[in-house]
Amino acid sequence: MDEPNLESKETDSFFEKLITALEKHQQAAVRSFKKNHKKTVKWLNSRGGDVGKLGGKVAGQISKGVVTTAVVAATGLPLTAISTPNAFPAPIIEVTQATDKVKDLVETGNLISGLRQSQDRQTEDALANNLSKLTGIKLAAKIDNKGLTRVLGRIGAEQHLYRYPGETINDHLPNTFERANYGPEGIAPHQGAWGYFANNKSNLTPDLVEKEKYYLAVQTFVIPEWNSNWSELKDWFKYRKMLVYNPKNGKNVVAVVADAGPATWTGKHFGGSPEVMEELKLTTGNKSGEVVILLIDDPQDQVPLGPLEKNIGVAFMTKSK
């Protein structure tokens, strides 16, 4: 097994927080860790750390080459803080003495890893409950027994949507900054699955502008009841508010359903507007990544669209699909 990446300055803070968060476990596992990871032990000791304070279960997992875990509780540490070879599948870690937020973050990581193996309703509900506590927003996999067929999957970049007939990209992005950052994505050749946001430019309200700006495409067409209950479900999903969470970096954004897609053959399960993808930091490479998408139970429309004020935090770092 490769040693952790010890070059990052932020790693000092990482280990301090990890040591404080975890309780002392089996001494045998700690001895095994010291024996098999002498370089890491030497580095940690040089910074005043004590490997004996690392949780025995964690040390045991590391010594077996199963997982290297990072718990970052609202620290904003970058993912370069520590490497994660052979970090799949979970369970990741067991924490018995730590802050509630750390426990929720770690459990979130365990649940996500479990969903990679099997998308079951009980795990989805548990994940929604954990993320509800972390965000302060009431989240659910299903509301009124309605929802998507999965809450964990890959999201890909989508184009802007026409907000009203005859709109141009200059109308859509009126200032230089927006055109420079979001103009290259262009506008989709057809209106979204729910039609135009407004009948004409004069009827385009600030609320509708925000809905297009932070929109999602979801695979409503794979819902088993879609064909038999199309009329009700189409109305129910229109502008349905959802939270999108990127577990790799802790970024999250509130958006609404405004289009259907992507096609199943793409291997993606969700699509995000250019602004959604920017908030999730999924704008490089193939412009896609693994996310959690959950319904927001917000009947009074009190949760604003856009990024949350602060990141949820990085609960874990594993090899994602």
pLDDT digits (tens, 9 = 90+) for 105-119: 888 988 999 999 999
pLDDT for the residue numbered 321: 46
Q: The tokens of 254 are what?
A: 């509130």
Last residue of a domain, one of 89, 120, 151: 120
Mean residue pLDDT across the chain:
78
Residue 11 banded pLDDT, cuts 50, 70, 90? very low
Nearest-angstrom CA–CA distance, 304 and 307: 9
- For residue 81, tell me if it sits in a domain: yes
- For residue 126, tell me if it sits in a domain: yes
Considering the domain architecture, whether residues 27 and 93 belong to the same structural domain is answered as: yes
**pLDDT tens track for 64-103:** 333 333 343 333 333 333 333 333 333 334 444 446 777 7
pLDDT for the residue numbered 56: 45
- For residue 2, tell me if it sits in a domain: no
Considering the domain architecture, whether residues 49 and 142 belong to the same structural domain is answered as: no
Residue 35 banded pLDDT, cuts 50, 70, 90? confident
- For residue 172, tell me if it sits in a domain: yes
pLDDT for the residue numbered 3: 41
Cis peptide bond upstream of 91, omega within 30:
yes
pLDDT for the residue numbered 60: 42
pLDDT for the residue numbered 79: 31
Could you give the 3-state DSSP secondary structure of residue 249?
A: coil
Q: The tokens of 275 are what?
A: 């602004």
Least confident of 52-56, 222-226, 251-255: 52-56
Considering the domain architecture, whether residues 180 and 81 belong to the same structural domain is answered as: no
- For residue 139, tell me if it sits in a domain: yes
Per-residue pLDDT at 316 exceeds 90: no
**pLDDT tens track for 138-196:** 999 999 999 999 999 999 999 999 999 999 999 999 889 888 989 999 999 999 999 99
Over range 243-249, report the average pLDDT. Answer: 93
Angle at 306 (CA atoms; ends 304, 311), nearest 5 degrees: 105
Supply φ then ψ for residue 139, to 5 degrees. -115, 155
Over range 295-304, report the average pLDDT. Answer: 96
Per-residue pLDDT at 53 exceeds 60: no
3-state helix, strand, coil in the chain (%, to 5): 40, 15, 45
Nearest-angstrom CA–CA distance, 116 and 318: 11
Question: Domain limits at 235?
Answer: 122-307
- For residue 314, tell me if it sits in a domain: no
Percentage of residues of the chain with pLDDT beyond 90: 57
State how beta strands 252-260 and 241-245 pair.
antiparallel
Nearest-angstrom CA–CA distance, 106 and 73: 10
**pLDDT tens track for 182-235:** 999 999 999 999 999 999 999 999 999 999 999 999 999 999 999 999 999 999
Considering the domain architecture, whether residues 107 and 126 belong to the same structural domain is answered as: no
User: Looking at the 3D structure of the chain, how many domains does it have?
Assistant: 2
Considering the domain architecture, whether residues 272 and 130 belong to the same structural domain is answered as: yes
Considering the domain architecture, whether residues 155 and 199 belong to the same structural domain is answered as: yes
pLDDT for the residue numbered 68: 33
CATH number at residue 225: 2.40.40.10
pLDDT for the residue numbered 313: 64
Considering the domain architecture, whether residues 176 and 258 belong to the same structural domain is answered as: yes
